[in-house]
Amino acid sequence: MSSHGQAQLAAALQEIVGFLVVSARGLIDEPPHYGPMRLLDAAARVVDALEEEGLTTPDTPRFREGIESVLDAWGASTDEFVASLDAVILGLVD
Amino acid sequence: MDVREAIRTRRSVRRYSDAAVDIQVLHRLVEAGCWAPTADNAQTWRFVVVTDAARMSKLRMIAPGFIGRAPAAIAVCQDMAEAERRLGAADAMALAPMDSAMAALNIMLEAHAEGLGTCVVASFNRDALQKLLRLPEHVVPLLLVAVGYAKATPSAPPREVDGVCYFEEYHE
């Protein structure tokens, strides 16, 4: 990876670290079911950062699609959200 | 876009394309916000439009509710000193957030009519946002509206009118 790419990745990861720290504080006051969403958003941000620097595996696109499907299910029924999440988890061991 | 269609087809967008939003368009969105009603016509709202990439990166860090990489955001704030002067302390606390919410909805509907996606966010660290936007202590951020071109538009959760709407009298 070029030094520019390394700097880009470092900046993206630093943003994610900050997001996790701020989320930790926010979740003390926020509804408990926001927790899963914050973790999934962090996962999506990590995948974004890795993809932008070409640090992917053959499984990355499938993993990304899974996370995005769960994010899209947010706001729908809890059952739909949990089912989407379960599908992604089972996909991890295909 | 017809107002009825706009109300029913607006969605909370959480995935955006990288396309930038023209600053004139963002200005129009704020103008739409300013057409919302306010208590005592006080108009004590203040809007901060953010598009700078470095500042947006920090915004995504301190606003966990800000999901996706929207290229722009509008912070809907209230000048609480001015609101208290106009409305009194108790009404300012109660009504200024409502005024901000109505302005935010106008912004989102205008954005929808412009072909943009939005998501209103209240999950942010207020102190950090205040510092990032250089807001004085009496100007309080109440809502953030993420703005960008939608990469994916979620389906609408069902709306149930029966069971929440009563005519003349409430009944169990």
- The percentage of residues in chain A with a pLDDT greater than 70, rounded to a whole number, is 98
Give the mutation candidate from A69, A72, A80, A84 for the B interface (greatest B CB count, under 10 A). Answer: A72
Nearest of B135, B141, B70 to residue B108 by alpha carbon? B70
Would you tell me which residues 129-158 of chain B have a C-beta closer than 8 angstroms to some C-beta of chain A? 152, 154-155, 157
Residue B14 contacts A, CB cutoff 8 Å? yes
- The percentage of residues in chain A with a pLDDT greater than 90, rounded to a whole number, is 41
Q: With contact defined as beta carbons under 8 Å apart, do B10 and B69 qualify? A: no
Q: Is residue B161 part of a domain?
A: no
Q: Which whole number is the average pLDDT over B151-158?
A: 84
Cross-chain Cβ contact A15/B60 below 8 Å: yes
Domain that holds residue B61: 3-152
The top-scoring range by mean pLDDT among A3-12, A22-31, A84-93 is: A22-31
Among A5-9, A77-81, B127-131, the minimum mean pLDDT is found in A77-81
| Residue B12, phi then psi, degrees to nearest 5 | -85, 110
Q: Write down the pLDDT at residue B78.
A: 98
Q: Count CB atoms within 10 A of the CB of residue A6.
A: 11
Q: Write down the pLDDT at residue B168.
A: 96
HEC profile of chain B: CCHHHHHHHCCECCEECCCCCCHHHHHHHHHHHHCCCCHHHCCCEEEEEECCHHHHHHHHHHCCCCCCCCCEEEEEEEEHHHHHHHHCHHHHHHHHHHHHHHHHHHHHHHHHHCCCEEEEECCCCHHHHHHHCCCCCCEEEEEEEEEECEEECCCCCCCCCCCCCCCCCCCC
Q: Count CB atoms within 10 A of the CB of residue B14.
A: 27
Among A39-53, B25-39, B68-82, B134-148, the minimum mean pLDDT is found in A39-53
Q: Is residue B166 part of a domain?
A: no
**Position A60 pLDDT exceeds 90:** no
**Position B16 pLDDT exceeds 90:** yes
HEC profile of chain A: CCHHHHHHHHHHHHHHHHHHHHHHHHHHHCCCCHHHHHHHHHHHHHHHHHHHCCCCCCCHHHHHHHHHHHHHHCCCCHHHHHHHHHHHHHHCCC
> B31: pLDDT confidence band, cut at 50, 70 and 90?
very high
Would you tell me which residues 11-70 of chain A have a C-beta closer than 8 angstroms to some C-beta of chain B? 11, 15, 18-19, 22-23, 25-26, 30, 34, 37-38, 41, 48, 68
Q: Is residue B171 part of a domain?
A: no
- Hey, what's the torsion of the CAs at A10, A13, A17, A22, to 10 degrees? 110
Query: Each residue of B109-145: b (16+ CB within 10 Å) or e?
Result: bbbbbbebbbbbbebbbeebbbebbebeeebbbbbbb
Q: Is residue B170 part of a domain?
A: no
Q: Is residue B143 part of a domain?
A: yes
Domain count, chain B: 1
Q: With contact defined as beta carbons under 8 Å apart, do A1 and A9 qualify? A: yes
| Whole-structure pTM value | 0.90
Residue A75 contacts B, CB cutoff 8 Å? yes
**Complex ipTM tops 0.85:** no
Q: Is residue B168 part of a domain?
A: no
Q: Is residue B28 part of a domain?
A: yes
CATH of the domain at B30: 3.40.109.10
Nearby residues of B169 by Cβ (< 8 Å), 6 or more positions away: none
